């Protein structure tokens, strides 16, 4: 029943009112005939002519500079696999929502019905005049590698396949901090990696950029360890193969005395015994969703000296891509970068790692229902609702773009830039997300008086759907149920009480007396 309810809630969320999750909103007045003449014909000819004379003016007169294309062919959606471009569209719309609420970046989601890598590249390349940057999403390996590489060669705007680099950037920041706490050096630790897809390969390559030794990795795909001479290893995985003498290693054997486990595969492939066999002060990043390679509680019970991260929000140290892509693109767009390069990714890694070491604002403590969040084994990466992310990661990325020579519009006044970033989303936006998160973490019972009013019922339903409180409805049950049925409101989980029922007389007297005792004198 609960599963069916969640399914229906998700379907209702996406279908009620205006279908989907996004819309286009004009940024200029369009009410009068003069407005319309300026917005379209004949006034629109003037910026067109300016851009024709100087193509860079497209950033001055259009939304290109703040517009990212979230582009997919639906061949590797979330954990759903190759479900096609139409079925992947809700995910791409969702990605657009995250771009907007976390970094004030506008998005057009584009789902392309093409699986041929070269044709896909040609289509996306042809869209370059529209966008300031392109976020490739949910494209299966190995095609995703070719597509991203070719688009980077052919386009002069930032391109990033977030499925690869997002996880790599966030987990790399977490890894740097975990190594500090565990007193280990990245060039000396031995890694075991479960999973050999796009994200795993990107993680390994980024860790190596930070100093990890190539020879210290053992990588497993669903068929076993990658080793030289294994006949079924794809060409792209060959560089991750170990010597043939390790051909008989399984995951359990590889994890003995390993320092770090990186999981980007499937749930429940690691046992408590495997974790117990790891080296002193182990680091385990079990990032499969929805089920981790090993359950958090099982892993921390097996080793008291462990630092653990997952892809889940209900445990500490969530490796969440939303910590990266909005701010990376924000920084790239703001300097009109022609690419997202290695220097910019490393800058994001280091900015995230440093932010986790800084004192946490009360607003973040409030959002996560904590008294004091401090740097340590259970806090090695920032929380997604930390309002400092935008003004920390975006400037680091922008600066790296400038220093690496890919910025066409360098920032001169950094204080003014950071002030602009802080004003983009506004304090009210940040507070509303924080308050909503806190309410969902600890929902209270809330009495809705006059529940015979349809407006009150709708609010109660919204509160229930948002999981911010448990509504209790006051009024005549028969009337409330009739109103709910007529308006398609689900009352399940909302108790109804009629204060005028004789059976509540004792309660009325009790509550009345208590209220009078608490009321200020003279009321």
pLDDT above 70: residue 516: yes
- Choose the weakest-confidence range: 137-146, 267-276, 426-435, 513-522: 426-435
Which residue among the candidates 16, 60, 89, 95 is catalytic per the annotation? 95
Instruction: Give the pLDDT of residue 12.
Output: 84
Closest by CA position to 289, among listed 261, 268, 317: 268
Instruction: Calculate the average pLDDT of the chain.
Output: 90
| Cβ within 8 Å of residue 47, ≥6 positions away | 57, 61, 62
Whole-angstrom Cα distance, residue 207 to residue 215?
A: 12
Instruction: Give the pLDDT of residue 460.
Output: 85
Phi-psi bin for 77: left (phi > 0), alpha (psi -120 to 50), beta?
A: beta
Q: Decide: 306 and 284 in contact? Cβ < 8 Å.
A: yes
- Residue 407, CB-side half-sphere exposure with 13 Å CA sphere: 23
Q: Decide: 168 and 199 in contact? Cβ < 8 Å.
A: yes
- Choose the weakest-confidence range: 182-196, 231-245, 333-347, 467-481: 467-481
Residue found by looking up tokens 């792209």 in the block: 236
DSSP assigned state of 361: P
Active site residue 40: yes
Q: What are phi and psi of 294, to 5 degrees?
A: -145, 140
Question: Higher-confidence residue: 449 or 295?
Answer: 295
Core vs surface per residue 1-32: b (16+ CB within 10 A) or e: eeeeeeeeeeeeeeeeeeeeebeeeeeeeeee
Sheet of strand 106-111: strand arrangement: 106-111, 67-72, 133-136, 159-161
Instruction: Give the pLDDT of residue 381.
Output: 96
Question: Higher-confidence residue: 492 or 239?
Answer: 239
Whole-angstrom Cα distance, residue 399 to residue 406?
A: 10
Closest by CA position to 275, among listed 303, 304, 308, 309: 303
Instruction: Give the pLDDT of residue 467.
Output: 79
pLDDT band at 427 (very low <50, low <70, confident <90, very high): low
Domains and CATH numbers, the chain: 43-157 (3.40.50.10380), 165-310 (3.40.50.720), 321-424 (3.40.50.720), 443-518 (3.40.50.10950)
Q: Where are the beta strands (DSSP E) in 424-509?
A: 444-448, 469-474, 496-497
- Choose the weakest-confidence range: 45-49, 332-336, 478-482: 478-482
DSSP assigned state of 73: -
pLDDT digits 0-9 by tens, 119-163 = 999 999 999 999 999 999 999 988 999 999 999 999 999 999 998
| Cβ within 8 Å of residue 427, ≥6 positions away | none
Closest by CA position to 223, among listed 237, 202, 213: 237
Instruction: Give the pLDDT of residue 3.
Output: 47
Whole-angstrom Cα distance, residue 145 to residue 139?
A: 9
Burial of 418 (0-12, 13-18, 19+ CB in 10 A): middle
Whole-angstrom Cα distance, residue 52 to residue 58?
A: 9
Containing 263, the helix (H) or strand (E) segment is strand 260-263
pLDDT band at 509 (very low <50, low <70, confident <90, very high): confident
Task: State both tokens at 461.
Answer: 């339903």
pLDDT above 60: residue 5: no
pLDDT digits 0-9 by tens, 172-206 = 999 999 999 999 999 999 999 999 988 999 999 99
Distance of CA 233 to the CA centre of its chain: 31
Q: CA angle, 208 as apex, 161 and 388 as ends, to 5°?
A: 60
- Choose the weakest-confidence range: 116-130, 139-153, 408-422, 459-473: 459-473
pLDDT above 90: residue 346: yes
pLDDT above 90: residue 86: yes
Task: State both tokens at 370.
Answer: 């904590």
pLDDT band at 431 (very low <50, low <70, confident <90, very high): low
Instruction: Give the pLDDT of residue 74.
Output: 96
pLDDT above 70: residue 24: yes
Whole-angstrom Cα distance, residue 348 to residue 331?
A: 10
| Mean pLDDT value of segment 481-493 | 83
Q: Decide: 225 and 249 in contact? Cβ < 8 Å.
A: yes
pLDDT above 60: residue 261: yes
Instruction: Give the pLDDT of residue 360.
Output: 85
pLDDT band at 523 (very low <50, low <70, confident <90, very high): low
Which residue among the candidates 7, 13, 40, 357 is catalytic per the annotation? 40
pLDDT digits 0-9 by tens, 11-22 = 888 888 888 888
> What's the sign of the alpha-carbon dihedral 269, 271, 276, 277?
negative
Q: Decide: 439 and 427 in contact? Cβ < 8 Å.
A: no
Instruction: Give the pLDDT of residue 512.
Output: 79
Active site residue 296: no
Whole-angstrom Cα distance, residue 352 to residue 501?
A: 58
Instruction: Give the pLDDT of residue 428.
Output: 55
Instruction: Give the pLDDT of residue 1.
Output: 37
Burial of 306 (0-12, 13-18, 19+ CB in 10 A): buried
Instruction: Give the pLDDT of residue 454.
Output: 84
Burial of 279 (0-12, 13-18, 19+ CB in 10 A): middle
pLDDT band at 433 (very low <50, low <70, confident <90, very high): low
Instruction: Give the pLDDT of residue 18.
Output: 84
| Cβ within 8 Å of residue 386, ≥6 positions away | 355, 360, 361, 364
Whole-angstrom Cα distance, residue 485 to residue 503?
A: 26
Containing 437, the helix (H) or strand (E) segment is helix 414-441
- Choose the weakest-confidence range: 175-184, 327-336, 496-505: 496-505
Helix 325-334 vs helix 342-357: crossing angle, to nearest 10: 120
Question: Higher-confidence residue: 338 or 21?
Answer: 338
Closest by CA position to 131, among listed 63, 78, 56, 76: 63
pLDDT above 80: residue 258: yes
- Residue 228, CB-side half-sphere exposure with 13 Å CA sphere: 5
């Amino acid at each position: 029943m609960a599963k069916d309810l969640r399914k229906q809630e998700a379907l209702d969320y996406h279908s009620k009112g205006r279908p989907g999750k996004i819309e286009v909103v004009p940024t200029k007045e369009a009410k009068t005939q003069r407005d319309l003449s300026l917005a379209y014909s004949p006034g629109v000819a003037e910026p067109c002519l300016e851009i024709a004379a100087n193509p860079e003016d497209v950033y001055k007169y259009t939304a290109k500079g703040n517009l990212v294309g979230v582009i997919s062919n639906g061949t590797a959606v979330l954990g759903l696999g190759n479900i096609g471009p139409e079925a992947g569209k809700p995910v791409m719309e969702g990605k657009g929502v995250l771009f907007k609420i976390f970094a004030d970046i506008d998005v057009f989601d584009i789902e392309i019905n093409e699986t041929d890598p070269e044709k896909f590249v040609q289509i996306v390349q042809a869209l370059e005049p529209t966008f300031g940057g392109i976020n490739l999403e949910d494209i299966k390996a190995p095609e995703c590698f070719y597509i991203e590489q070719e688009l980077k060669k052919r386009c002069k705007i930032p391109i990033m396949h977030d499925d690869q680099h997002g996880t790599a950037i966030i987990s790399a920041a977490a890894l740097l901090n975990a190594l500090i706490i565990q007193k280990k050096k990245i060039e000396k630790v031995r890694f075991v990696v479960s999973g050999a897809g796009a994200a795993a390969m990107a993680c390994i390559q980024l860790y190596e950029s930070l100093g990890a030794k190539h020879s210290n990795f053992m990588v497993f795909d669903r068929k076993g360890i990658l080793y030289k001479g294994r006949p079924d290893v794809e060409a792209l995985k060959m560089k991750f193969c170990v010597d043939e003498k390790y051909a008989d290693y399984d995951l359990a054997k590889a994890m003995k005395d390993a320092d770090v486990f990186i999981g980007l595969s499937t749930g429940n492939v690691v046992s408590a015994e495997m974790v117990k066999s790891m080296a002193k002060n182990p680091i385990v990043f079990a990032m499969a969703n929805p089920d981790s390679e090993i359950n958090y509680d099982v892993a921390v019970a097996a080793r008291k000296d462990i630092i653990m991260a997952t892809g889940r929000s209900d445990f500490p140290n969530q490796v969440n891509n939303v910590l990266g892509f909005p701010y990376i693109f924000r920084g790239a767009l703001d300097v009109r970068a022609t690419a997202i390069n290695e220097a910019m990714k490393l800058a994001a890694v280091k900015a995230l790692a440093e932010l986790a070491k800084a004192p946490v604002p009360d607003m973040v403590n409030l959002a996560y229902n904590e008294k004091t969040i401090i740097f340590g084994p259970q806090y090695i990466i920032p929380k997604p609702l930390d309002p400092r992310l935008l003004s920390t990661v975006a400037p680091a990325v922008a600066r790296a773009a400038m220093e690496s020579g890919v910025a066409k519009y360098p920032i001169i006044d950094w204080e003014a830039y950071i002030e602009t970033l802080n004003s983009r989303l506004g304090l009210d936006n940040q507070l509303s997300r924080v308050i909503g998160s806190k309410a969902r973490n600890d929902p209270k019972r809330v009495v809705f008086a006059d529940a015979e009013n349809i407006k009150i019922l709708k609010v109660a339903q919204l509160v229930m759907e948002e999981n911010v409180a448990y509504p209790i409805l006051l009024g005549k049950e028969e009337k409330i149920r009739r109103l709910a049925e007529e308006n398609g409101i689900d009352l399940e989980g909302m108790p109804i009480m009629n204060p005028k029922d004789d059976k509540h007389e004792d309660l009325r007297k009790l509550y009345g007396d208590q209220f009078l005792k608490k009321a200020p004198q003279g009321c």
